[in-house]
Amino acid sequence: MKYTVEMSNKLNELLERTYDAEKGFRQAAEKVDNKTIKDFFEKSADQRYNFGKELKAEIISFGQAPDKGGSTKGTLHRSWIDFKAMISSNTEEVMLEEVHRGEKEAIATYNDILQDKEFVLPPSTESLLMRHRNAIRKTLDTATIFEAAVS
């Protein structure tokens, strides 16, 4: 199967999102006092770091160059999180709301790629993306539980 530029672009889009998520989770961990939530954010950041390594390896295995950094949109989002945290009385709740929103967007991006009928993903790529998406769903579920507890 020929690896297409479109596939490379889609995987690099995921990689960029992964960089943004890792930075966002690290930022969120710095802003909360609750040890359990802080640990959750730190573990989620580490998970995204590992996702990034796996996505880079997948892109490289097809002879393409992985992107090097996050997006402007991600930088703006983290600035928005800083602002919301600054004016909020419940930083944990604000951080968890943003995680909830970001994880839903990430799942949608993974689903778009996995369900795209324009090209067929190699089995290794499809398996990798499904594993990542399912782990993100678990992160979303955990964030939802924490969010209900701190509201």
pLDDT value of position 3: 57
Question: Residue ranges per domain, the chain?
Answer: 5-150
Q: Is the pLDDT of residue 24 over 50?
A: yes
* Greater pLDDT, 89 or 107: 107
- Characterise 135 by phi-psi region: left (phi > 0), alpha (psi -120 to 50), beta (else): alpha
Q: How far is CA 69 from CA 26, 62, 106, 132, in A?
A: 15, 20, 17, 19
CA angle 111, 67, 103 (to 5 degrees): 35
pLDDT value of position 77: 45
**How much helix, strand and coil, in percent to the nearest 5, is found in the chain?**
80, 0, 20
Superfamily of domain 5-150, CATH level 4:
Ferritin, core subunit, four-helix bundle (1.20.1260.10)
Q: Is the pLDDT of residue 103 over 80?
A: yes
Mean pLDDT value of segment 64-81: 58
Poorest-pLDDT segment among 42-51, 67-76, 82-91 = 82-91
